[in-house]
Amino acid sequence: MAKIVAVTGCPTGIAHTRMAEEALKRTAQVMGHEIKVETQGAEGAQNVLSDQDIAAADVVIISSDIYVDASRFAGKPMYAVSTSQAIRNTQAVIEDALEEAATAPEPLAAEAQPQAVETHAAPPAQAAGSRYIVAVTSCPTGIAHTFMAAEGVKKGAEALGYQAKVETQGSVGSQNTLTEEDIRRAQVVVIAADTKVNKSRFAGKPIYETSTNAAINNGVQVVEEALAQAQVQKPAGAAGKTDYVGSVSQAKASRSASRSGPYKHLMTGVSYMIPFVVAGGLMIALSFAVGGIYVYDQEGTLGWGLFQIGAPSAFALMVPILAGFIAYSIADRPGLAPGMIGGMLAVSTGTGFLGGIIAGFIAGYATDWFNKVIKLPRNLAGLKPVLILPLLGSGVVGLLMLFVIGTPVSIGVEAMTAWLTGMQQSSAVILGLILGAMMAFDMGGPVNKAAYTFAVGLLDSNIYLPMAAVMAAGMTPPLGLALSTFLFKNRYSEDEREAGKAAAVLGLSFITEGAIPFAAKDPLRVIPSIVLGSAVTGALSMLFNAQLRVPHGGVFVLPIPNAVTNLGFYVIAILVGTLVTTGALFVLKRPVSEEQEMLAEVEPAVA
């Protein structure tokens, strides 16, 4: 017979708390174990466990959806689950807890031999600087396990003579966020999480990953294993000197990491929206290919079905997803619902893509403000992300969209749509030239993204000309550079000629960033050349009246029927822009001497 102590808790402290308590008591008795259960909730703690109860226990079960201070259970095997798990799978929870207790290290060993603890202390010579770790903890609900794991890692590090800073990624967003200086100082990074954690900021640092349960049960062991087993997170492109795709990926990641403020939030929304636009646009194109231009009238046919998937379904989600993830980027999970509700209202009020952007920012900043100003006791903290913040955020953005923002923005959107629809050919060519130049100017940077976001937003208004110009102009920089490395080999080093092959693939895939390594090495010659070629391509695409229904995919979407109109002329626009870029590079770049080429090959080895 085992002796068990348990703590149950939920935000209200009523239903789930009591049900988990009763389930654990009854099941433990049936299994022949002795158990005492403390409950925590809105009314505070009841049936509080005494020091004698804890000292006599073989294992501690924490079944909670709110934060529980586990410091009094130090040295005891702990097993943490949600209240739902304790209610539904009570026997399995007790069995797993006892099994974990049986395999855990003997907790009294350290107390019986104090000198064993002292062996972990830092020698004086190492006390400064190096004995510092950082950690990230996260669980699906972002409440109990997240903070208990953080506490476990902290105490484990302290027991071993280390300083620790722990970032918690909980239901109300990241708290105690790690800075670049924290990460730079750290000897090792511990990730104790049951959800996916973005590790890109830890490139080059030793990383050890484990579960929240492991950190809760034995923080000392987790830190010891981290110090012994952590593996270095290698930066992209570190495999070899000619890993061109890796260097492009690294450049893109670096740009993403450097984004901040409204631009970062907007790009987060756009990145989550694009798959919906791509899927919807392709479904619409395929429906027209199967059933003709009036396929939406042919109810019950395959073409009609494809159209229903694309236009009223996938495209209908475009603006809500955009707004929702703008708000998510600002306020984390609590901002998602207000943002998506604001996006739905943007659609219903006729403000479209522009209204969705406005709604996303209002929802995000409002929810984030409420999160900062509303302070609740820890046992009620679980109510904020699931009830209070979504309710208040949705109310604010909804009322503003309906009574303040909707009408003036919808008038502006209608005016812009009418202007673009009735645009004369000369105006269209100028617009295409400007959009094309913007796509190449910073190759995936803010100017490029401004042009791309403008074109994507017009898809919701059934205006497809700018999207075609933008994608074509975004393909030509890597394609022009690739062709230049093939035709004019004496103007490039061996590494650059090899990289040109990868640039061709990236260009065909509409990855403008494929030009970044070339532009970084020789910006004064490469950037004017690619801007010129992309501007020509954008202008020609508009001149040829090419329309594109999908916002991405490069040449791989061109064979799909009705994805692009005037396909032959559209391909000509891309080819002409590529040739213009190549020609400009021939004029501006000078031949590379053998001595310079040898130096270019030696420099990476020296570095």
| Fold match flag (3-108 vs 127-232) | yes
Q: Do residues 311 and 284 make contact, with C-beta atoms less than 8 angstroms apart?
A: yes
Asked whether residue 337 carries a pLDDT value surpassing 70, the answer given is yes
412: Cβ–Cβ under 8 A, 6 or more apart, which residues? 354
Give pLDDT tens digits for 90-139. Answer: 888 898 888 877 776 554 443 333 333 333 333 333 333 458 899 999 87
pLDDT recorded at residue 125: 34
Q: Are strands 173-175 and 163-170 parallel, antiparallel or unpaired?
A: antiparallel
pLDDT recorded at residue 179: 86
Quote the Cα angle for 283-288-289, to 5°.
95
Closest by CA to 145, choosing from 92, 206, 213, is 213
Question: Does 139 qualify as catalytic in the annotation?
Answer: yes
Interval 56-66 mean pLDDT: 86
Asked whether residue 41 carries a pLDDT value surpassing 80, the answer given is no
What residues does 163 pair with on adjacent strands? 132
Residue 369 CA: distances (Å) to CA of 172, 284, 496: 12, 40, 49
Q: Which amino acid is at 153?
A: V
| Catalytic one of 139, 284, 286, 481 | 139
CA dihedral 177, 207, 127, 137 (to 10 degrees): 40
pLDDT recorded at residue 174: 74
Residue 183 CA: distances (Å) to CA of 107, 189, 208, 234, 238: 32, 8, 14, 15, 20
Q: Do residues 551 and 278 make contact, with C-beta atoms less than 8 angstroms apart?
A: yes
Asked whether residue 244 carries a pLDDT value surpassing 80, the answer given is no
Q: Please state, as a whole number, how many other Cβ atoms lie within 10 Å of the Cβ of residue 373.
A: 7
Instruction: Considering only residues 335 and 285, tell me which one the structure prediction assigns the higher pLDDT.
Output: 335
Range 122-147 burial, b when 16+ CB lie within 10 A, else e: eeeeeeeeebbbbbbbbbebbbbbbb
pLDDT recorded at residue 116: 36
Give me the residue spans of the domains in the chain.
Answer: 3-108, 127-232, 256-410, 425-606
Which pLDDT band, with edges at 50, 70 and 90, does 287 fall under? confident
Give pLDDT tens digits for 175-209. Answer: 888 888 888 888 899 999 887 788 878 877 889 99
Listed range (96-110, 148-162, 215-229, 476-490) with the worst mean pLDDT? 96-110
Taken in order 66, 71, 73, 77, is the CA torsion positive or negative? Answer: positive
For 3-108, CATH gives 3.40.50.2300
Instruction: Considering only residues 128 and 516, tell me which one the structure prediction assigns the higher pLDDT.
Output: 516
DSSP 389: H
d(CA 413, CA 523): 38
Asked whether residue 391 carries a pLDDT value surpassing 90, the answer given is yes
pLDDT recorded at residue 110: 38
Summary mean pLDDT of the chain: 81
Interval 380-400 mean pLDDT: 89
pLDDT recorded at residue 323: 94
Burial of 448 by CB count in 10 Å (0-12 exposed, 13-18 middle, 19+ buried)?
A: buried
pLDDT recorded at residue 84: 79
Listed range (95-109, 485-499, 575-589) with the worst mean pLDDT? 95-109
Listed range (216-230, 232-246, 539-553) with the worst mean pLDDT? 232-246
Give pLDDT tens digits for 346-361. Answer: 989 888 888 999 999 9
Q: Write down the pTM of the prediction.
A: 0.60
DSSP letter string, 25-85: HHHHHHTT-EEEEEEEETTEEESPPPHHHHHH-SEEEEEESS----GGGTTS-EEEE-HHH
Instruction: Considering only residues 94 and 174, tell me which one the structure prediction assigns the higher pLDDT.
Output: 94
pLDDT recorded at residue 493: 81
pLDDT recorded at residue 408: 92
Quote the Cα angle for 446-452-456, to 5°.
140
pLDDT recorded at residue 605: 43
pLDDT recorded at residue 571: 94
For 382, the token pair is 């679980």
Q: What fold characterizes domain 127-232? A: Rossmann fold (3.40.50)
Listed range (364-378, 408-422, 496-510, 562-576) with the worst mean pLDDT? 408-422
Complete edge-to-edge strand list for the sheet that includes strand 173-175: 173-175, 163-170, 132-138, 188-193, 206-210, 231-232
Helix (H) or strand (E) holding 138: strand 132-138
Q: Are strands 78-81 and 59-64 parallel, antiparallel or unpaired?
A: parallel
